[in-house]
Structure 1
Amino acid sequence: MKKKIAIIDDHVLIAQAIKGIISNFTNFEVLYVCENGKELIDKITKKNQLPDIVLLDISMPIMNGFETAKWLQEHHPEVMIVVLSMQTDEESINKMIKNGARSYLLKNVHPRDLEMALNTMLENGYYYPDWASRLIFSGMNKVKGKLSNKLSDREKEFLRYCITEMSYKEIAEEMHCSPRTVEGYRDSLFEKLDLKSRVGLAVYAIKNGFE
């Protein structure tokens, strides 16, 4: 069964062009197109049309991408958020990751790369192109190997679970420890790796072979 995608972008021509591109993808289909986050919420809450994936622009009137992603994370965390924007600054990327984005792509992405990104995200839970990963881990690459050596075995085990859809409580059960202990591993990794979100931990785990 094809995964249903909602496109949220106030530029109508661009949104329709993306819809046409996705219509040629094997595993995906467009459920609907919205011009802002408020329209998306209306379709989800009033018409009960919940997509599997949301392709989300950032700069939009009424309700922008940051606000929309935050609402989705709070009300429907199962929906996978893919940012599709022209904003490449570190602040925007980190803010969208904090708000639950699973992928961050530029609007000039090639159609085949968009399809690959969507399929990879479904398989791994996350997908970030190299340019985005460099910004996410800016300043960290020089000491990446040293950092990995400083991680405890339990922290490395926790990193592997971060890639999954498991909650922190479920991870604690698998690791045979308390949720508070798992939170301690998380906070320690945040500090050691200079990261601020579980998505950041998951991307780090994938990039460094903790799968």
Structure 2
Amino acid sequence: MTYKVVVVDDHLLIAKAISSIIEGFSGFEVLYEAENGKVLMDKFKVRVNIPDIVLMDISMPIMNGFETTQWLTDNYPDIVVMALSVQDDDDSLIKMIKAGAKGYLHKNVHPTELEVALKNLVDKGMYFPAWATSKVFMNLSKKDERKTINEIKLSERELEFLSYVCTELTYKEIADRMCCSPRTVEGYRDALFEKLEIKTRVGLAMYAVKSHIYEIK
């Protein structure tokens, strides 16, 4: 299967260079480049322009990466968004995750890691390098007004599912571990999204760590 990719970046030369690199990866095809979120929205009016993966710059005119990622999350939740930016500060990382990004890479990344990241996005649904993961978990120590585990009643199966969310297992593999169907696992996920007011798997993982459901080893 060939996965379709779109690169959203307002620097044309950089976008073309990224596309050229991805075209050399087996199993991936770049559909086009878009210079900002508004251009991407216009492209989506034609169904054949809708990709599987969007590589998203953050700082763009007219409609930036945060706004575009949130729009994709709200309207095309099956599309996987990965930030590919020069910014690696805590605020940008957390804001992109909250908007729905499933991955985050710095633009100076080696092409080999970019390929690994894309494969993880399609196989596991997410990819965050060690530096990004570290920043996410450090952020957990800061004040968070989200409901705590003591304020929400979670079933034993939901707690078990939350512990698996923090691993690299796919949802299908989690279903196998829990001896249930993938549809049942999706039910646990959707119920937790609603109960915890969270939109992404990364958000669930952050919650599980903060609530000590899953201990980082």
TM-score using structure 1 length: 0.75
Contact 1:35/1:60 (8 A) holds in 2:
yes
Q: How many residues align?
A: 187
Q: Which moved more, 1:154-163 or 1:55-64?
A: 154-163
Which amino acid letter does the alignment assign opposite residue 87 of structure 1?
Q
Alignment of structure 1 residues 71-110 onto 2, 5 Å? 71-110=71-110
DSSP 3-state at the match of 1:101: coil
Which amino acid letter does the alignment assign opposite residue 52 of structure 2?
D
Identical counterparts, % of pairs: 48
Alignment of structure 1 residues 181-192 onto 2, 5 Å? 183-184=194-195, 186=196
Runs of 4+ deviating beyond 2 Å? 151-156, 160-166, 169-175, 181-184, 200-206
How many Å separate the matches in 2 of 1:205 and 1:29? 35
State the Cα distance separating 1:202 from its structure 2 match: 3.8
The 1:105/1:157 distance shift into structure 2, 3 A limit, reads same
How many Å separate the matches in 1 of 2:51 and 2:186? 30
Contact 2:7/2:15 (8 A) holds in 1:
yes
Contact 1:171/1:182 (8 A) holds in 2:
no
Match of 1:156? Answer: 159
Which amino acid letter does the alignment assign opposite residue 203 of structure 2?
G
How many Å separate the matches in 1 of 2:73 and 2:140? 27
How many Å separate the matches in 2 of 1:109 and 1:92? 17
The 1:120/1:198 distance shift into structure 2, 3 A limit, reads closer
1:199 and 2:198 correspond: no
State the Cα distance separating 1:47 from its structure 2 match: 5.4
How many Å separate the matches in 1 of 2:45 and 2:89? 32
RMSD of Structure 2 on Structure 1 (CA): 3.4
Residues 133-154 of structure 1: per-residue CA shift (max 9 Å, x gap):
000000669xxxxxxxxx9954
Match of 1:3? Answer: 3
TM-score using structure 2 length: 0.73
Which amino acid letter does the alignment assign opposite residue 110 of structure 2?
H
